[in-house]
Amino acid sequence: MVPRPIIIDCDPGVDDAVMLMMALASPALDVRAITTVAGNVPLNLTSRNARMMCQIMDRTDIPVFAGCPRPILREPVTAEHFHGDSGIAGLDPFEPDAPLAAGHAVQHLIDTLRAARPGQYTIVVTGPLTNIATAIIMAPDIARGIDRLVIMGGADTEGGNITPFAEFNIFADPHAAAIVFDSAIPCTVLSLDVTHQVRAEPERLTLLRALPGPRAAIMVQLLEAANVLEARWKEGRMTPMHDPATIAWLLAPGLFESHQATVSVDTAPGDRFGQTRVALSEPGPHEWVTMADADGFFALIERLVNNT
Ligand code: RIB
Ligand code: CA
């Protein structure tokens, strides 16, 4: 089996860190680059944290490019209350050995996708969509090199997590999200509607903690820290596996159910600012994921980190 070429655009972020551990542990994925964006914490920290995870996973061969330091239009928002001031709650931050790759993430996306074969790359997006939208505006022709965008973002029936209607990644840059969803590039969207079905429940962490090897222990540290922060804000609920859902979908799509749809974003000022609107449509440019098999999801994670 030829590993699938992917580029990961993220804002680590505790759940981004868990997602990166899964992606970098999988022989089925060929992570060609990581691009970072301002989101959960400022860009300097998301960029450091991404490089930390590459070092922890012994993958310092993967270039990490820093991208946009702020949203396209709205004032910046961050989420330290869910990720810690470091953005990597649960781990002791350190300065990674490998420096940032030279050049802006958006330019790297454009150069890579222009040189790609048609549909060669899958782009995983787990932060605000600022980098992706900027690349599309600067070079619309890059769509040719993209198989699909696999995006963690949005909410429909579940309601929002940063306002009653908006999910953080979309709320943090709704204009960027609108550009991406309007671009006609195929998107698979894993929203709160599905990520809230898969949470780091104590019994699941007990099974992970029992696995041999340092990586399972590191993942448990991250998830336990995320649970402490989540419980402070969300009535004692355990942390949802938001960003890890993108990699789980890529590796085991049979664990999920989805519907064709057309997704749009409310960018008008007001209480619906950043809300995703989902019109189920056959056919539609977007795949809206609605269900996940949580047991299968965690069994996949256990396989990825077992004895590593
Ligand atoms: O709403 C959850 C999303 O916002 C996740 O990507 C999390 O990392 C934060 O960025
Ligand atoms: Ca994220």
Strands 256-265 and 146-152 turn out to be unpaired
Copy the structure tokens of residue 106: 């958006």
Percent of the residues in the chain that have a pLDDT greater than 90, as a whole number:
94
Residue 88 alpha carbon to ligand 1 centre in Å? 13
DSSP letters for 126-184: -S-SHHHHHHHHH-GGGGGGEEEEEEE---STT--SSSSS--HHHHT-HHHHHHHHTT-
The string of pLDDT tens digits covering residues 10-27 is 999 999 999 999 999 999
Give yes or no for residue 173 CB within 6 A of ligand 1.
no
pLDDT at residue 4 in the model: 98
Answer yes or no: is pLDDT of 307 > 70. no
Rounded mean pLDDT of 271-286? 93
59 close to 104: Cβ distance less than 8 angstroms:
no
229 close to 238: Cβ distance less than 8 angstroms:
no
The string of pLDDT tens digits covering residues 29-45 is 999 999 999 999 999 99
Query: What residues have a C-beta under 5 A from ligand 2, the ion?
Result: 11, 13, 16, 126-127, 243
Catalytic residue among 83, 108, 196, 242: 242
The string of pLDDT tens digits covering residues 135-189 is 999 999 999 999 999 999 999 999 999 999 999 999 999 999 999 999 989 999 9
Q: Which residue bears the tokens 């505790």? A: 14
What are the two backbone dihedrals, phi and then psi, of residue 93, each rounded to the nearest 5 degrees?
-60, 145
Tally of structural domains, the chain: 1
pLDDT at residue 257 in the model: 98
Residue 169 alpha carbon to ligand 2 centre in Å? 7
Percent of the residues in the chain that have a pLDDT greater than 70, as a whole number:
99
Give yes or no for residue 193 CB within 6 A of ligand 1.
no
Answer yes or no: is pLDDT of 244 > 90. yes
CATH number of domain containing 291: 3.90.245.10
pLDDT band, very low/low/confident/very high, at 101 (cuts 50, 70, 90): very high
pLDDT at residue 28 in the model: 97
| Alpha carbon nearest to ligand 1 atom 1, residue | 168
Q: Which ligand lies nearest the alpha carbon of 78? A: 1
pLDDT band, very low/low/confident/very high, at 283 (cuts 50, 70, 90): confident
Q: Is 242 among the catalytic positions?
A: yes
The string of pLDDT tens digits covering residues 211-241 is 999 999 999 999 999 999 988 877 778 999 9
Q: Which ligand lies nearest the alpha carbon of 168? A: 1
Residue 221 alpha carbon to ligand 2 centre in Å? 17
Give yes or no for residue 152 CB within 6 A of ligand 1.
yes
Give yes or no for residue 47 CB within 6 A of ligand 1.
no
Answer yes or no: is pLDDT of 124 > 70. yes
- Domain containing 218 equals 4-306
33 close to 66: Cβ distance less than 8 angstroms:
no
- Tell me what the pLDDT averaged over the chain comes to: 96
| Residue 2 DSSP code | P
CA-to-CA distance for 181 and 184, rounded, in angstroms? 7
pLDDT at residue 308 in the model: 67
pLDDT at residue 282 in the model: 78
Rounded mean pLDDT of 65-79? 98
| pTM listed for this prediction | 0.98
